[in-house]
């Protein structure tokens, strides 16, 4: 993975590494923001715009959402 990313993205920290990227480049972050905006639009009765934004947010996902995360009983 380190060879695939620009060198300024990976930072060495005690105990490992940190990826420093613009959050807007991460689909999960963009999805969460779309959900927040969609809810706000629904509350203000802008339903057509809320639907458009919901569809845009859903289009970010290809396949199962976060499939590599283990299921938890918590």
pLDDT tens-place string over residues 52-74: 998 888 888 777 766 777 666 55
Give the per-residue pLDDT at 3.
79
Give the per-residue pLDDT at 61.
77
pLDDT tens-place string over residues 17-57: 888 888 888 888 888 999 999 999 999 999 999 999 988 88
> Is residue 53 within 8 Å of residue 41, measured between CB atoms?
yes
User: pTM of this prediction?
Assistant: 0.60
Helix, strand, coil content of the chain in percent (nearest 5):
45, 10, 45
Give the per-residue pLDDT at 65.
67
Give the per-residue pLDDT at 73.
59
């Amino acid at each position: 993975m380190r060879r695939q990313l620009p060198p300024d993205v990976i930072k060495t920290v005690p105990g490992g590494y940190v990826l420093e990227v613009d959050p807007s480049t991460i689909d999960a972050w963009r999805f969460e923001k779309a959900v927040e905006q969609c809810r706000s639009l629904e509350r203000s009765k802008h339903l057509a715009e809320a639907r458009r934004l919901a569809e845009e947010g859903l289009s970010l996902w290809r396949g199962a959402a976060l499939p590599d995360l283990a299921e938890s009983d918590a």
